[in-house]
Amino acid sequence: MAELHPESTTDDVLGDTDLSGRRVVVTGASSGLGEETARAMASRGATVVMAARSADKNAAAVERIRAGAPDADVHPRELDLADLASVRRFADGVSSDLDAVDVLVNNAGVMVCPFGHTADGFEMQFGTNHLGHFLLTSLLADAVLAGNEPRVVTLSSAAHLISDVDLDDPNFVSGDYDAWISYGRSKSANALFALELARRLGDQGLRSYSVHPGMVATELARHMTEDLMAQMISRISERAEQAAASGEDAPTGSDMPAMRTPAVGAATQVWAAVAPELADHTGAYLLDCHVGAGADVAPYVQDADRAAALWSLSEDMVGQSFG
């Protein structure tokens, strides 16, 4: 494998890797990072289940992938992470079709959307980004544990630095809604979930990672207004100023980041899915094809007690005991 760096692409990560026989599930696969992840892995021989909310968009993504890789073994399936009944139907279908899942990529999500609720009454960003994937991973856990050197890769973000999870008011029942705070909480939840998953199932051979993909031009930003963009720039500047004042290195992304292509943005999650050198780093937060550390990772997403508390809360919220 070539030496990797922040501008490496999925093809740089995989090179001539043969993924024949690997069974992969990717959520949010109809565009952006999910589609690129599915393309890169299917083009190396993996069987990929492409999960997406829109059947039409997913079918179009399958066509694009097969245009470049005619033999790609890709299977589109409908999944709405904002509806736990849909998550259960999807998991039942995957479990029926595959005897095992080697890699689960929890890629899908929503970002800075207006205040709203999922079909089950959860705040939309926390409910979709975290709880939907929490339930999905729980329902597929037996299939994943039956996999060959199984891995679960969960998309987080540098936005986790905005806010820790709120275990007392995850649905903004008593607090005023802030789109960026909500997004930050959901991304912290993703990192904490990956950490606790590694602790609970690591002794059964499972490896778990959370990933920051960088800023990528995808449909994820469809709710981004000029005001929300200005708020993001202000938060980035504030982080850089705080780091400078304390004499610490600024976290990655404390300068206004350049927009990445999906091929670059998806590189780290593909690396997490395949790299043998990550076997001893389960539970880690990854970015730019390396293990995050220092200012790039908030202390609260490395807090084992916090991770365990979120896990218990999530079980209660989705009505599913896990691990």
Q: Where are the domains of the chain?
A: 10-222+258-318
Q: Which residue has the higher pLDDT, 227 or 258?
A: 258
How far apart, in whole angstroms, are the C-alpha atoms of residue 231 and residue 225? 10
Q: So what's the pLDDT on residue 216?
A: 87
Q: Which residue has the higher pLDDT, 95 or 259?
A: 95
How far apart, in whole angstroms, are the C-alpha atoms of residue 213 and residue 240? 20
How far apart, in whole angstroms, are the C-alpha atoms of residue 169 and residue 86? 25
How far apart, in whole angstroms, are the C-alpha atoms of residue 58 and residue 99? 23
pLDDT per residue over 289-316, tens digit each? 999 999 999 999 999 999 999 999 999 9
Asked if 300 is an active-site residue, the reply is: no
How far apart, in whole angstroms, are the C-alpha atoms of residue 120 and residue 106? 20
Question: Which residue among the candidates 183, 209, 285, 300 is catalytic per the annotation?
Answer: 183
- Check whether 24 has a pLDDT greater than 80: yes
pLDDT per residue over 229-240, tens digit each? 555 555 554 554
Q: So what's the pLDDT on residue 262?
A: 96
In the numeric block, which tokens belong to residue 95? 């479990």
- Check whether 60 has a pLDDT greater than 90: yes
Query: What average pLDDT does range 162-183 have in this prediction?
Result: 96
Q: So what's the pLDDT on residue 237?
A: 47
Residue 271, amino acid? W
Average model confidence (pLDDT) for the chain?
Answer: 92
Q: So what's the pLDDT on residue 66?
A: 98
Backbone angles phi, psi at 246, to 5 degrees: -90, -5
CATH 3.40.50.300 is held by the domain 10-222+258-318: no
Residue with tokens 């059964």: 204
Residue 227, amino acid? D
User: In the chain, what percentage of residues exceed pLDDT 90?
Assistant: 84
